[in-house]
Structure 1
Amino acid sequence: MRIVIDGDACPVKQEIYQVAQKTQIPVILVSSYDHVSDKHPDQIEVVYVDRGADSADYKIIGLIQAHDILVTQDYGLASLALPKKVRVLHHTGKEYTYTNIDQLLEQRHHSAKLRRSGQRTKGPSKLTVEQKETFKELLTKIISEGDNQDD
Protein backbone atom coordinates (compact mmCIF):
# COMPACT_ATOMS: atom_id res chain seq x y z
CA MET A 1 0.00 0.00 0.00
CA ARG A 2 1.22 3.47 -0.97
CA ILE A 3 -0.32 6.91 -1.07
CA VAL A 4 -0.08 8.58 -4.48
CA ILE A 5 -0.83 12.31 -4.61
CA ASP A 6 -2.01 14.22 -7.67
CA GLY A 7 0.14 17.02 -6.40
CA ASP A 8 -0.22 20.22 -8.42
CA ALA A 9 -3.32 21.49 -6.65
CA CYS A 10 -3.53 19.26 -3.58
CA PRO A 11 -4.32 21.35 -0.48
CA VAL A 12 -3.85 18.47 2.00
CA LYS A 13 -0.23 17.48 1.37
CA GLN A 14 0.85 18.27 4.93
CA GLU A 15 -2.00 16.19 6.35
CA ILE A 16 -1.00 13.28 4.11
CA TYR A 17 2.64 13.58 5.16
CA GLN A 18 1.62 13.54 8.84
CA VAL A 19 -0.52 10.40 8.48
CA ALA A 20 2.09 8.68 6.31
CA GLN A 21 4.84 9.37 8.79
CA LYS A 22 2.76 7.97 11.66
CA THR A 23 1.73 4.85 9.72
CA GLN A 24 5.00 4.37 7.78
CA ILE A 25 3.13 4.28 4.45
CA PRO A 26 5.24 5.32 1.43
CA VAL A 27 4.11 8.46 -0.41
CA ILE A 28 4.61 9.37 -4.06
CA LEU A 29 3.89 12.97 -5.05
CA VAL A 30 3.32 13.46 -8.79
CA SER A 31 3.67 17.05 -9.92
CA SER A 32 4.57 19.02 -13.03
CA TYR A 33 7.89 20.79 -13.43
CA ASP A 34 5.89 24.01 -13.08
CA HIS A 35 5.49 23.18 -9.37
CA VAL A 36 9.02 22.11 -8.42
CA SER A 37 9.50 22.49 -4.69
CA ASP A 38 11.81 21.30 -1.99
CA LYS A 39 9.18 21.83 0.70
CA HIS A 40 8.36 18.21 1.33
CA PRO A 41 9.79 15.69 3.75
CA ASP A 42 12.83 13.73 2.58
CA GLN A 43 11.00 10.39 2.75
CA ILE A 44 8.46 11.55 0.14
CA GLU A 45 9.20 10.31 -3.37
CA VAL A 46 8.58 13.12 -5.85
CA VAL A 47 7.96 12.37 -9.51
CA TYR A 48 7.97 15.35 -11.85
CA VAL A 49 6.27 15.31 -15.23
CA ASP A 50 6.33 17.65 -18.20
CA ARG A 51 3.84 20.43 -18.62
CA GLY A 52 0.60 19.43 -20.19
CA ALA A 53 -3.00 19.08 -19.19
CA ASP A 54 -2.89 15.35 -18.58
CA SER A 55 0.80 14.57 -18.05
CA ALA A 56 0.42 13.98 -14.32
CA ASP A 57 -2.72 11.89 -14.87
CA TYR A 58 -0.99 9.57 -17.35
CA LYS A 59 1.97 9.17 -15.02
CA ILE A 60 -0.29 8.42 -12.06
CA ILE A 61 -2.26 5.80 -13.98
CA GLY A 62 1.04 4.16 -14.89
CA LEU A 63 2.26 4.24 -11.27
CA ILE A 64 -0.75 3.15 -9.24
CA GLN A 65 -1.27 -0.44 -8.25
CA ALA A 66 -4.00 -2.39 -6.50
CA HIS A 67 -4.20 -1.51 -2.79
CA ASP A 68 -2.75 2.00 -3.29
CA ILE A 69 -4.55 5.14 -2.13
CA LEU A 70 -4.82 7.98 -4.64
CA VAL A 71 -5.58 11.55 -3.54
CA THR A 72 -6.97 13.71 -6.33
CA GLN A 73 -9.70 16.21 -7.03
CA ASP A 74 -9.88 15.10 -10.67
CA TYR A 75 -13.04 13.07 -11.28
CA GLY A 76 -11.74 11.78 -14.60
CA LEU A 77 -8.54 10.48 -13.03
CA ALA A 78 -10.56 8.95 -10.20
CA SER A 79 -12.73 7.09 -12.72
CA LEU A 80 -9.62 5.64 -14.39
CA ALA A 81 -8.08 4.61 -11.07
CA LEU A 82 -11.08 2.77 -9.60
CA PRO A 83 -10.83 -0.25 -11.95
CA LYS A 84 -7.22 -0.70 -10.83
CA LYS A 85 -8.54 -1.51 -7.31
CA VAL A 86 -7.21 1.73 -5.87
CA ARG A 87 -8.95 3.63 -3.07
CA VAL A 88 -9.45 7.18 -4.35
CA LEU A 89 -9.95 10.14 -2.02
CA HIS A 90 -10.94 13.75 -2.58
CA HIS A 91 -9.17 16.28 -0.36
CA THR A 92 -12.47 17.24 1.31
CA GLY A 93 -12.67 13.83 2.94
CA LYS A 94 -14.93 12.06 0.48
CA GLU A 95 -14.12 8.79 -1.26
CA TYR A 96 -14.75 8.23 -4.94
CA THR A 97 -16.57 4.95 -5.50
CA TYR A 98 -18.35 3.13 -8.29
CA THR A 99 -21.56 4.35 -6.63
CA ASN A 100 -20.81 8.08 -6.94
CA ILE A 101 -18.35 8.48 -9.83
CA ASP A 102 -20.94 8.52 -12.65
CA GLN A 103 -22.90 11.32 -10.99
CA LEU A 104 -19.71 13.33 -10.37
CA LEU A 105 -18.63 12.94 -14.01
CA GLU A 106 -22.10 13.99 -15.18
CA GLN A 107 -21.94 17.12 -12.99
CA ARG A 108 -18.49 17.93 -14.40
CA HIS A 109 -19.79 17.49 -17.97
CA HIS A 110 -22.80 19.71 -17.28
CA SER A 111 -20.61 22.47 -15.79
CA ALA A 112 -18.27 22.29 -18.79
CA LYS A 113 -21.23 22.68 -21.15
CA LEU A 114 -22.40 25.75 -19.22
CA ARG A 115 -18.93 27.31 -19.38
CA ARG A 116 -18.65 26.63 -23.12
CA SER A 117 -21.96 28.43 -23.64
CA GLY A 118 -20.56 31.49 -21.86
CA GLN A 119 -22.14 30.97 -18.47
CA ARG A 120 -20.09 31.20 -15.33
CA THR A 121 -20.00 28.35 -12.87
CA LYS A 122 -19.02 28.58 -9.26
CA GLY A 123 -15.58 27.29 -8.36
CA PRO A 124 -14.83 25.24 -5.28
CA SER A 125 -15.10 26.84 -1.87
CA LYS A 126 -11.99 27.36 0.21
CA LEU A 127 -11.06 24.21 2.10
CA THR A 128 -12.05 24.41 5.76
CA VAL A 129 -10.17 23.15 8.79
CA GLU A 130 -13.03 20.70 9.36
CA GLN A 131 -12.68 19.30 5.83
CA LYS A 132 -8.95 18.84 6.32
CA GLU A 133 -9.63 16.98 9.57
CA THR A 134 -12.31 14.84 7.89
CA PHE A 135 -9.82 13.99 5.15
CA LYS A 136 -7.16 13.03 7.67
CA GLU A 137 -9.61 10.81 9.58
CA LEU A 138 -10.73 9.05 6.39
CA LEU A 139 -7.14 8.49 5.23
CA THR A 140 -6.20 7.07 8.64
CA LYS A 141 -9.28 4.81 8.64
CA ILE A 142 -8.55 3.44 5.15
CA ILE A 143 -4.95 2.73 6.06
CA SER A 144 -5.98 0.93 9.24
CA GLU A 145 -8.55 -1.15 7.36
CA GLY A 146 -5.99 -2.27 4.83
CA ASP A 147 -7.57 -2.94 1.49
CA ASN A 148 -11.15 -4.10 1.91
CA GLN A 149 -12.19 -3.08 -1.58
CA ASP A 150 -13.80 -5.93 -3.53
CA ASP A 151 -11.32 -7.71 -5.79
Structure 2
Amino acid sequence: MRPDAEAPGRAMTEIWVDGDACPVRDEVFRVAERRNLIVHVVSNGARGVRLPDHPRIRRVIVEAGADAADDYIADNIAPLDVCVTADIPLASRCLAKGARAISPKGHPWTQENIGSALAGREVSRHLRETGLETRNASFTGNDRSRFLVALDAALDAAARPAAQAFRIPPGGF
Protein backbone atom coordinates (compact mmCIF):
# COMPACT_ATOMS: atom_id res chain seq x y z
CA MET A 1 0.00 0.00 0.00
CA ARG A 2 1.32 3.43 -0.83
CA PRO A 3 2.49 5.52 2.11
CA ASP A 4 0.12 8.43 1.49
CA ALA A 5 -3.00 6.35 0.97
CA GLU A 6 -6.02 6.93 3.09
CA ALA A 7 -8.05 4.02 4.36
CA PRO A 8 -8.61 1.23 1.83
CA GLY A 9 -11.50 2.05 -0.47
CA ARG A 10 -10.76 5.78 -0.43
CA ALA A 11 -13.28 7.81 -2.35
CA MET A 12 -10.97 10.51 -3.69
CA THR A 13 -9.57 10.41 -7.22
CA GLU A 14 -5.83 10.91 -7.60
CA ILE A 15 -3.82 11.50 -10.76
CA TRP A 16 -0.73 9.42 -11.53
CA VAL A 17 1.75 10.79 -14.07
CA ASP A 18 4.33 8.61 -15.79
CA GLY A 19 6.70 11.50 -15.31
CA ASP A 20 10.00 11.03 -17.10
CA ALA A 21 8.91 12.28 -20.52
CA CYS A 22 5.43 13.68 -19.97
CA PRO A 23 4.82 16.84 -22.02
CA VAL A 24 1.61 17.77 -20.18
CA ARG A 25 2.71 17.87 -16.53
CA ASP A 26 1.88 21.59 -16.22
CA GLU A 27 -1.62 20.99 -17.57
CA VAL A 28 -2.13 18.15 -15.09
CA PHE A 29 -1.03 20.44 -12.24
CA ARG A 30 -3.49 23.19 -13.28
CA VAL A 31 -6.41 20.77 -13.58
CA ALA A 32 -5.53 19.13 -10.25
CA GLU A 33 -5.34 22.54 -8.55
CA ARG A 34 -8.75 23.52 -9.93
CA ARG A 35 -10.25 20.21 -8.73
CA ASN A 36 -8.28 19.99 -5.48
CA LEU A 37 -6.73 16.62 -6.37
CA ILE A 38 -3.47 14.92 -5.47
CA VAL A 39 -0.97 14.30 -8.28
CA HIS A 40 1.78 11.68 -8.07
CA VAL A 41 4.63 12.26 -10.53
CA VAL A 42 6.56 9.00 -10.74
CA SER A 43 10.01 8.91 -12.33
CA ASN A 44 13.30 7.11 -12.00
CA GLY A 45 15.06 10.37 -11.13
CA ALA A 46 17.52 10.18 -14.01
CA ARG A 47 16.16 13.32 -15.67
CA GLY A 48 15.68 15.53 -12.62
CA VAL A 49 12.08 16.51 -13.36
CA ARG A 50 11.30 19.92 -11.84
CA LEU A 51 8.01 20.12 -9.97
CA PRO A 52 6.18 22.99 -8.31
CA ASP A 53 6.39 23.12 -4.54
CA HIS A 54 2.81 22.22 -3.66
CA PRO A 55 1.43 19.92 -0.94
CA ARG A 56 -0.82 18.03 -3.39
CA ILE A 57 1.96 17.40 -5.92
CA ARG A 58 3.93 14.39 -4.79
CA ARG A 59 7.26 13.37 -6.29
CA VAL A 60 7.92 9.65 -6.35
CA ILE A 61 11.42 8.60 -7.37
CA VAL A 62 11.89 4.90 -7.99
CA GLU A 63 15.02 2.84 -8.56
CA ALA A 64 16.57 2.94 -12.01
CA GLY A 65 15.16 0.33 -14.32
CA ALA A 66 13.18 0.02 -17.51
CA ASP A 67 9.78 -0.52 -15.88
CA ALA A 68 10.33 0.62 -12.28
CA ALA A 69 8.10 3.70 -12.59
CA ASP A 70 5.43 1.68 -14.43
CA ASP A 71 5.53 -1.02 -11.77
CA TYR A 72 5.14 1.56 -8.99
CA ILE A 73 2.14 3.18 -10.66
CA ALA A 74 0.48 -0.14 -11.48
CA ASP A 75 1.01 -1.38 -7.91
CA ASN A 76 -0.41 1.77 -6.30
CA ILE A 77 -3.15 3.07 -8.58
CA ALA A 78 -6.74 2.67 -7.35
CA PRO A 79 -10.01 2.22 -9.26
CA LEU A 80 -11.06 5.90 -9.08
CA ASP A 81 -7.64 7.16 -10.21
CA VAL A 82 -6.46 8.43 -13.58
CA CYS A 83 -3.05 7.65 -15.08
CA VAL A 84 -1.42 9.91 -17.66
CA THR A 85 0.93 7.82 -19.79
CA ALA A 86 2.00 7.20 -23.36
CA ASP A 87 3.08 3.71 -22.30
CA ILE A 88 0.46 1.30 -23.65
CA PRO A 89 1.38 -1.68 -21.41
CA LEU A 90 1.15 0.59 -18.33
CA ALA A 91 -2.23 1.89 -19.51
CA SER A 92 -3.37 -1.74 -19.84
CA ARG A 93 -2.23 -2.53 -16.29
CA CYS A 94 -4.08 0.53 -14.95
CA LEU A 95 -7.27 -0.43 -16.77
CA ALA A 96 -6.99 -3.95 -15.33
CA LYS A 97 -7.08 -2.39 -11.84
CA GLY A 98 -10.24 -0.44 -12.69
CA ALA A 99 -8.50 2.92 -13.09
CA ARG A 100 -8.65 5.20 -16.11
CA ALA A 101 -5.74 6.01 -18.42
CA ILE A 102 -5.16 8.69 -21.02
CA SER A 103 -2.23 9.51 -23.25
CA PRO A 104 -0.55 12.93 -23.22
CA LYS A 105 -2.06 13.45 -26.68
CA GLY A 106 -5.55 13.10 -25.22
CA HIS A 107 -6.28 9.54 -26.31
CA PRO A 108 -8.34 7.75 -23.66
CA TRP A 109 -7.26 4.14 -23.21
CA THR A 110 -10.27 1.86 -22.66
CA GLN A 111 -11.01 -1.85 -22.38
CA GLU A 112 -12.37 -1.58 -25.94
CA ASN A 113 -9.20 -0.16 -27.53
CA ILE A 114 -6.28 -1.33 -25.40
CA GLY A 115 -6.00 -4.75 -27.06
CA SER A 116 -5.55 -3.31 -30.55
CA ALA A 117 -3.14 -0.68 -29.16
CA LEU A 118 -1.01 -3.43 -27.61
CA ALA A 119 -1.09 -5.36 -30.89
CA GLY A 120 -0.11 -2.27 -32.89
CA ARG A 121 2.77 -1.64 -30.48
CA GLU A 122 3.97 -5.20 -31.03
CA VAL A 123 3.78 -4.80 -34.83
CA SER A 124 5.82 -1.57 -34.60
CA ARG A 125 8.41 -3.32 -32.44
CA HIS A 126 8.68 -6.12 -34.97
CA LEU A 127 9.08 -3.65 -37.84
CA ARG A 128 11.89 -1.86 -35.98
CA GLU A 129 13.61 -5.19 -35.36
CA THR A 130 13.55 -5.89 -39.11
CA GLY A 131 15.21 -2.55 -39.80
CA LEU A 132 12.23 -0.43 -40.75
CA GLU A 133 11.93 2.95 -39.13
CA THR A 134 8.76 3.77 -37.20
CA ARG A 135 8.01 7.24 -35.88
CA ASN A 136 5.42 8.82 -33.67
CA ALA A 137 3.86 12.09 -34.75
CA SER A 138 5.27 15.14 -32.99
CA PHE A 139 3.38 16.69 -30.08
CA THR A 140 1.21 19.67 -31.12
CA GLY A 141 -0.93 22.37 -29.56
CA ASN A 142 -4.00 20.44 -30.71
CA ASP A 143 -2.71 17.43 -28.74
CA ARG A 144 -2.43 19.62 -25.64
CA SER A 145 -6.03 20.84 -26.06
CA ARG A 146 -7.29 17.31 -26.70
CA PHE A 147 -5.46 16.16 -23.56
CA LEU A 148 -7.16 18.78 -21.37
CA VAL A 149 -10.59 17.72 -22.64
CA ALA A 150 -9.75 14.03 -22.12
CA LEU A 151 -8.40 14.62 -18.61
CA ASP A 152 -11.52 16.50 -17.54
CA ALA A 153 -13.69 13.74 -19.06
CA ALA A 154 -11.74 11.00 -17.25
CA LEU A 155 -11.97 12.86 -13.94
CA ASP A 156 -15.69 13.47 -14.44
CA ALA A 157 -16.20 9.76 -15.20
CA ALA A 158 -14.23 8.79 -12.09
CA ALA A 159 -16.57 10.94 -10.00
CA ARG A 160 -19.73 9.31 -11.40
CA PRO A 161 -19.61 5.59 -10.49
CA ALA A 162 -21.04 5.92 -6.99
CA ALA A 163 -23.73 8.32 -8.16
CA GLN A 164 -24.75 5.94 -10.97
CA ALA A 165 -25.02 2.82 -8.80
CA PHE A 166 -28.80 3.25 -8.69
CA ARG A 167 -30.39 4.18 -11.98
CA ILE A 168 -34.02 4.28 -12.99
CA PRO A 169 -34.37 2.39 -16.28
CA PRO A 170 -35.82 4.20 -19.32
CA GLY A 171 -39.58 4.16 -19.01
CA GLY A 172 -39.47 3.79 -15.22
CA PHE A 173 -40.15 0.66 -13.22
Which runs of 5 or more residues in structure 2 are unaligned?
1-12, 166-173
- The count of residues paired between Structure 1 and Structure 2 equals 150
Q: How does 1:47-58 map to 2 (within 5 A)?
A: 47-58=60-71
Report the counterpart of residue 21 of structure 1 in structure 2: 33
Any idea what the Cα deviations from partners look like across 1:77-115, whole Å, max 9, x if unmatched? 111111111010011111101111111111110111111
CA–CA separation in structure 1 for the residues paired with 2:156 and 2:74: 24
**Greater helix share, structure number:** 1
Report the counterpart of residue 112 of structure 1 in structure 2: 125
CA–CA separation in structure 1 for the residues paired with 2:133 and 2:51: 35
CA–CA separation in structure 2 for the residues paired with 1:66 and 1:39: 25
SS of 1:15's partner is helix
Structure 1 residue 81 and structure 2 residue 94: aligned? Answer: yes
Report the counterpart of residue 3 of structure 1 in structure 2: 15
Q: Is the 8 A contact 1:30 1:46 kept in 2?
A: yes
CA–CA separation in structure 1 for the residues paired with 2:81 and 2:22: 17
Work out which structure has the larger RCO, using CA pairs closer than 8 Å and 6 or more positions apart in sequence. Answer: 1
Identity %: 32
Which runs of 5 or more residues in structure 1 are unaligned?
none
Task: Mark the CA change 1:68 to 1:110 in structure 2 (over 3 Å): closer, same or farther.
Answer: same
Q: How does 1:1-150 map to 2 (within 5 A)?
A: 1-43=13-55, 44-122=57-135, 124-145=136-157, 146-148=159-161
Q: What is the root-mean-square deviation of aligned Cα atoms in Å?
A: 1.9
> How far apart are 1:38 and its partner, in Å?
3.5
Larger Rg: 2
Residue 64 of structure 1 aligns with an amino acid whose one-letter code is I
> How far apart are 1:147 and its partner, in Å?
4.4
CA–CA separation in structure 2 for the residues paired with 1:98 and 1:135: 19
Q: Is the 8 A contact 1:67 1:147 kept in 2?
A: no
> How far apart are 1:19 and its partner, in Å?
0.3
When structure 1 is superposed on structure 2, of 86-95 and 39-48 the one drifting more is 39-48
TM-score (norm 1): 0.92
